[in-house]
């Protein structure tokens, strides 16, 4: 059982803070990998919560492998998101304020395989992103426009 599940035993649905890592995974054609999340039914970038004792890159690698089946290589730090845009109330009532450390990933191995957190995994051209996306993904896409 993960850290968040253990904390929820004590605090129920009350707001918690959580550190997370996410990836902007780009293929050779500069398309972005998106995950249609089964919990909120929105498209977002893959990633997830840190477990006790992990460093942030370990979290990134573990979460990306769990959610996509990919093993990432040489992640490049992009930015950190926090505040109200990272406030989420899940359908079950759990409330979280994330500190989300996001990386760009251009190198990876493996085959795409989704887990129970994903309804679908798909690469999209930047001008063909679905409209039903997470707040975080909207911010990431906006910030990517000015990134070198």
Nearest-10 Cα torsion for 54, 55, 56, 59: -30
Tell me the mean pLDDT in the region 26-51: 95
**How many CA within 13 A on the CB side of residue 125?**
2
Query: By CB neighbour count within 10 A (0-12 exposed, 13-18 middle, 19+ buried), where does 142 fall?
Result: exposed
pTM over the 0.75 mark: yes
Contact, 56 vs 48, CB < 8 A?
Answer: no
User: Given the structure tokens 């998106």, which residue do they identify?
Assistant: 34
The overall average pLDDT reported for the chain is 95
Give the fold, CATH level 3, of 3-144.
Nucleoside Triphosphate Pyrophosphohydrolase (3.90.79)
| Alpha helical stretches, state H, the chain | 3-11, 56-68, 135-144
- Rounded-to-integer distance, Cα 19 and Cα 29, Å: 31
pLDDT of residue 42: 94
* Residue 116: pLDDT over 70: yes
């Amino acid at each position: 059982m993960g850290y968040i599940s253990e904390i929820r035993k004590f605090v129920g649905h009350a707001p918690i803070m959580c550190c997370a890592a996410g990836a902007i995974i780009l293929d050779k054609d500069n398309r972005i990998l998106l995950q249609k999340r089964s919990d909120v039914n929105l498209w977002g970038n893959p990633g997830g919560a840190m477990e006790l004792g992990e460093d942030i890159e370990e979290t990134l690698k573990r979460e990306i492998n769990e959610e996509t089946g990919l093993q990432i290589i040489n992640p490049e730090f992009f930015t950190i998101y926090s505040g109200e845009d990272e406030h989420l109330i899940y359908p079950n009532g759990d409330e979280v304020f994330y500190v989300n450390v996001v990386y760009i990933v251009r190198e990876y191995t493996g085959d795409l395989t989704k887990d129970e957190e994903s309804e679908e995994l798909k690469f999209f051209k930047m001008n063909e992103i679905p409209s039903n996306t997470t707040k975080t993904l909207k911010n990431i896409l906006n910030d990517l426009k000015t990134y070198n």
